[in-house]
Structure 1
Amino acid sequence: MTKAKSNNAGADFKALDACHQQIAEHLARLDALVEHLVSEGVDAHAQGEARAIEAFFSETSQRHHLDEESKVFPPLLSSSDEALVATVRMLQQDHGWIEEDWLALAPQLRAIAAGYSWYDPDELRHGIGVFLELCREHIQLEESIIYPQAKAVVAKLERRRALLPPLKFKAGAPSSS
């Protein structure tokens, strides 16, 4: 059972890391879309990009944050390291701000995907700039501090589990002999 737990924890972090890569790619696409809209307006390329970017951030990225909130952050919040706990709390707050920023951007991207050009280019550029900066800083902090700390906590817990003798049951009562 310890092996299965270990492999699942490792797979969880690989999936989280892979999602960060996908987020970075979609952030770059979002940045490029703004420039494309300024130079070319709403054309077929802009519509396709807006559709793909909106779907990714409305679905995959949000699930990623839920995974972090349920799997990565909880063990770190019980740490005695006050700076680490403060960092996790800040990242939780970031998730709220990222969601709030996204809720302002998503309708504009859906409109662009549908071929409308009613958006304010300056407002869109500003909103996307704020979103890009927040997301990039957030990922950098998670990858440089939080993920390594979370991986260390998981490894420590797995080592403890591996040292415990398996429980044997006799007449309905657990024992370690």
Structure 2
Amino acid sequence: MQILEPQKFASWNEPIEMLYACHGKVKRFCRQLTILPDYLAKNGCNQAVKNDVQQILNYFNQSAPLHHDDEEKDFFPLLVKYVPEAQKDIDELERQHVTLHDSWTKLSEQLQALLKDERENIDVELINHFVSGYDKHIALEEPLFELGKQHLSESELREIGDIMSARRRVQS
């Protein structure tokens, strides 16, 4: 079930590239989620599936909320200083963060039950709702990353990169 693709390595010295890297992981895990129901129907819940599901759970339980904090607490407030017209999209993205977290809560309950052998499948509609929510979200958000590259200074980027890095050290 593993889907491999070349990875571009980014560092906290390039916080916008790190935001893009997070989206790359979201996309990869969403692709895994979309193939999960058919895989389960054909192969059952084997150890390989459980390993992949655990990685997906870890990412969306830990890394995704940190990514949303990076955006809401650091990137968006700085960007809107230079591009005030981005506020409308930022407001929508922040609403979407809440919706994505709610969708994830429902989906993660089923994934946890799968790991505990309490269920044999995952609701396809839940997966589709979650994945389509992220598809729309990323499509709206990534143009703001590009605006950040255009408008934020190297020192501002370095500063928010340091904050984002520190956020993860506190969580570990």
Counterpart residue number, 2:148? 150
Q: Deviations over 1:133-177 (max 9, x none)?
A: 11112112211x21112222313986xxxxxxxxxxxxxxxxxxx
Match of 1:168 in 2: none
Which is higher, the Rg of structure 1 or of structure 2? 1
**Structure 1 residue 59: Cα displacement:** 0.8
- 2: distance between equivalents of 1:9 and 1:28? 26
Within the alignment, does 1:103 sit opposite 2:105 as a pair? Answer: yes
Code of the aligned partner of 1:44: Q
Contact in 1 for aligned 2:44/2:120 (Cα 8 Å): no
**Structure 2 counterpart of 1:32, from 24, 30, 35:** 35
**What's the offset of the Cα at 1:130?**
0.5
Q: Which runs of 4+ in 1 moved over 4 A?
A: 78-81
- CA contact 1:101–1:131 (8 Å) conserved in 2: yes
Aligned residues: 146
Whole-Å separation in 2 of the counterparts to 1:9 and 1:118: 40
2 CA distance for matches of 1:77 and 1:116?
46
5+ residue gaps in structure 1? 1-7, 159-177
Q: How does the TM-score come out when normalised to structure 1?
A: 0.73
Seq. identity, %: 24
SS at match of 2:153: helix
C-alpha distance in structure 2 between counterparts of 1:47 and 1:25, whole Å:
16
Residue in structure 1 matched with residue 92 of structure 2 by the alignment: 90
Deviation of the 1:44 alpha carbon: 2.2
Q: Mind listing any 5+ residue stretches in structure 2 that lack a counterpart?
A: 1-10, 157-172
What do residues 5-27 of structure 1 show as CA deviations (whole Å, max 9, x unaligned)?
Answer: xxx98521121111111111111
Alpha-carbon RMSD across the aligned residues, in angstroms, is 2.3
Q: How far 1:80 moved relative to its partner?
A: 6.4
